[in-house]
């Protein structure tokens, strides 16, 4: 699920079609088909709960659909969609934690109970990993997920998150250290 | 071994999350059938002035015509020079031609000498 390689569609043609009233619906269908899964997993890792991820995914696509005219094509469509999805999720987490600003080092996220989640199929190690990830500030957790699981390039992450590459590298390095410390006894 | 590599060795990259059966297909169908009405930006037809539209071609034609005129002028200059040299083949008078010329010229010896030595 690499952002740079997931788009098999011709971006320039697609953007033209998305702005054409006669072709927009069909073109958007192609976008939805291409990005439903990667965006879902991106959101699911951020919020953990399936229903929340589902709602956020729907909001993401509807926002994209209603704001296509404002998209100038300065970035890839994939980057634009990830940016909308990430902002939706961070706003959601922000609302959950009762704070207004989500920064790289804000760690006020409430705990999530995976025991009760029927769509979580992990073993004890996976549960501990999610626990470790939950101990990270939401944006740092996002950085970790995008780099570690999605294998995104820092440059793409920088466009999505609006954070400098240097800050992202530092944040990821810190996240790896924190999670490693969590599994200190296993190393 | 870096911290990241050590971590990969422990936690791997397995996805522990699941979705309901057929979720992605259902999601796409539900979403596409419930998209809200969208207002499309009205594109105003762009009127391009005739001069701006043809400016490029006129400029190209002018440059092309200039090149043609220049080539023609150079060609004509070459022809004139060739014509001048034609009387002497290689541009050097033979002794016979020189004698004939001197015999029929109005120069006297002194004038000719001055002319040849640029000593007027």
- Give the rounded distance of the alpha carbon of B21 from its chain centre: 61
B28 in reach of chain A (CB within 8 A) = yes
Tens of pLDDT, residues A69-90: 889 888 899 999 999 999 999 9
Comparing A8-22, A130-144, B44-58, B71-85, the range with the smallest average pLDDT is B44-58
Count of pairs with CB atoms under 8 A, one residue in A, one in B: 90
CA dist B25 → A14, B35, B44 (Å): 21, 16, 38
B106 in reach of chain A (CB within 8 A) = no
pLDDT at position A35 is 96
Average pLDDT, chain A: 86
Write the DSSP assignment of A16-66 as a string of letters.
Answer: HHHTSTTTHHHHHHHHHHHHHHHHHHHHHHHH--HHHHHHHHHHHHHHHHH
pLDDT at position B80 is 76
B3 in reach of chain A (CB within 8 A) = yes
- Give the rounded distance of the alpha carbon of A177 from its chain centre: 21
Nearest to A32 among B17, B28, B38 (CB): B28
Tell me whether residues A66 and B14 touch, CB distance under 8 A: no
Tell me whether residues A121 and B16 touch, CB distance under 8 A: yes
Cβ neighbour number for residue A147 with a 10 Å cutoff: 21
Cβ neighbour number for residue B92 with a 10 Å cutoff: 9
* pLDDT for residue A100 is more than 70: no
Tens of pLDDT, residues B4-52: 888 888 888 888 999 999 999 999 999 999 999 887 777 666 666 677 7
Q: What is the mean pLDDT of residues B84-89?
A: 54
3-state helix, strand, coil split of chain A in percent (to 5) is: 65, 0, 35
Q: Which domains does chain A have, with CATH numbers?
A: 11-186 (1.10.1740.10)
Nearest to B36 among A21, A45, A62 (CB): A62
Flag whether the ipTM exceeds 0.85: no
pLDDT at position B7 is 86
């Amino acid at each position: 699920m690499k952002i740079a390689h997931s788009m098999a569609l011709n971006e320039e043609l697609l953007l033209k079609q998305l702005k054409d009233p006669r072709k927009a619906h069909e073109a958007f269908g192609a976008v939805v088909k291409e990005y439903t899964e990667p965006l879902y997993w991106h959101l699911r890792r951020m919020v953990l709960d399936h229903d929340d991820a589902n709602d956020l995914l729907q909001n993401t696509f509807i926002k994209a659909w209603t704001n296509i005219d404002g998209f100038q094509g300065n970035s890839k469509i994939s980057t634009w969609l990830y940016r909308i999805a990430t902002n939706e999720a961070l706003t959601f987490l922000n609302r959950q934690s009762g704070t207004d600003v989500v920064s790289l080092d804000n760690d006020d996220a409430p705990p999530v109970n995976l025991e009760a989640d029927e769509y979580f199929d992990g073993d004890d190690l996976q549960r501990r990993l999610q626990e470790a990830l939950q101990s990270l500030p939401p944006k740092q957790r996002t950085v970790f997920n995008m780099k570690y699981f999605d294998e995104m390039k820092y440059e793409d992450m920088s466009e999505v998150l609006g954070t400098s590459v240097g800050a992202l590298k530092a944040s990821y390095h810190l996240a790896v250290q924190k999670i490693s410390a969590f599994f200190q006894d296993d190393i | 071994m870096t911290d990241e590599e050590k971590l990969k060795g422990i936690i791997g990259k397995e996805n522990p999350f699941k979705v309901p059966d057929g979720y992605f297909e259902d999601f796409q169908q539900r979403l596409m059938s419930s998209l809200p009405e969208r207002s499309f930006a009205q594109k105003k037809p762009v009127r391009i002035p005739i001069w701006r539209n043809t400016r490029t071609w006129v400029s190209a034609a002018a440059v092309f015509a200039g090149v043609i005129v220049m080539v023609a002028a150079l060609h004509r200059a070459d022809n004139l020079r060739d014509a001048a040299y034609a009387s002497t083949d290689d541009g050097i008078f033979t002794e016979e031609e020189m004698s004939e010329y001197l015999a029929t010229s109005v120069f006297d010896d002194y004038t000719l000498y001055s002319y040849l030595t640029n000593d007027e």
